[in-house]
Amino acid sequence: MSTFRHILVPRDFSTPARNALDWGVYWARRFNARLTMMHVVTVFDDDPYNPQRDRDDWRDFYRKIEGLADAQLQETAPESAGSQLEIDSVVRRGFSPAEELLDYASTNGVDLIVMGTHGRRALSRFLLGSVAERVIKHAQCPVMTCRPPAEKKAAEKAVQRILVPTDFSENSKSALQLAKQLLPQDAELTVLHVIADTLHPAYYLAGKSSLFDLLPDLEEHARNAMQRFLQDSGIGSETATVIMQEGDPAQRIIEFARENRADLIVMGSRGLSEWEQILVGSVTERVVRKAACPVLTIK
């Protein structure tokens, strides 16, 4: 298998970043991939007119910080890997962690980025609101985001149930095809389609409790669309369990994943029609923020 050949794990030495490294090691073992740990030393003093900008003591300060970061990367690698893996460590300096990560990924053949959703201390809000979100939006390769685990899992048992939400878009097709490649033997693959409950006022006047009651043919049309979608994706009916629901897409994805103890959500980062503009800012972002399990997004 050669789905992933080079995996990049950004590190700020926080708990979510440690969890991301565990996942990076898991995928590296699965696909015999090269693993690169990367830390970005952020330069906040970006005023070119600041007379102290080029002082030697500032250069020495950043070199010291970079040396400490590299030493910490080296210390964590043997503890986290635990097997014969090709592991590199990279320390970069820049004004934008996201830009440094994206640049490294695009110029070094990275085909998976695994990162935490939150950083350490004051960086927590900054990382999810800026770095992780920006990487998800702009990376050309799949991006897997991880929250701190609720309970410790053995890496070998990390993926047994994969959930693929779909709106039948091309991005969803790519997500489903990737999920099939990632599925271990005897694992479960579920494809979920949520019909958004943006309703006409007649819905309330009709006294119905479900869209399927108001529009009896809706479920049949959705199932026919799902069947075509699976066929176009090269997925047989024996491979995946198909679920149809109605409601708020992000909320239902999050709830379904929790209720069914999904180990991984694989979803497209863009959708159909108007979703293409709002999906990252709404559905995907909400799933990344709230899902208890890791979320892998793909264009």
What is the pLDDT, as a whole number, of residue 274?
46
CB atoms within 10 A of CB 152: 6
What is the pLDDT, as a whole number, of residue 117?
80
Buried b (16+ CB within 10 A) or exposed e, 251-260: ebbbebbeee
Of residues 221 and 103, which shows the higher confidence score? Answer: 103
What is the pLDDT, as a whole number, of residue 86?
83
Q: Does pLDDT of 297 surpass 90?
A: yes
User: Over the stretch 73-88, which tens digit does the pLDDT of each residue have?
Assistant: 666 665 555 567 888 8
Contacts of 235 (CB under 8 A, 6+ apart): 176, 177, 180, 191
Mean pLDDT of 110-135: 70
Identify the CA nearest to 17 among candidates 95, 64, 69. Answer: 69
What is the pLDDT, as a whole number, of residue 176?
93
Instruction: Catalogue all structural domains in the chain, each as residue range(s) with its CATH number.
Output: 6-146 (3.40.50.620), 159-298 (3.40.50.620)
Q: What is the pTM of this model?
A: 0.80
User: Over the stretch 193-230, which tens digit does the pLDDT of each residue have?
Assistant: 998 766 554 544 454 555 555 556 667 777 888 888 88
Q: Does pLDDT of 236 surpass 70?
A: yes
User: Over the stretch 19-31, which tens digit does the pLDDT of each residue have?
Assistant: 888 899 889 988 9
Average per-residue pLDDT for the chain: 77
User: Over the stretch 39-95, which tens digit does the pLDDT of each residue have?
Assistant: 887 776 444 445 555 555 656 655 666 665 666 666 666 555 556 788 888 888 877
Would you say 256 and 292 are in contact if contact means Cβ atoms under 8 Å apart? Answer: no
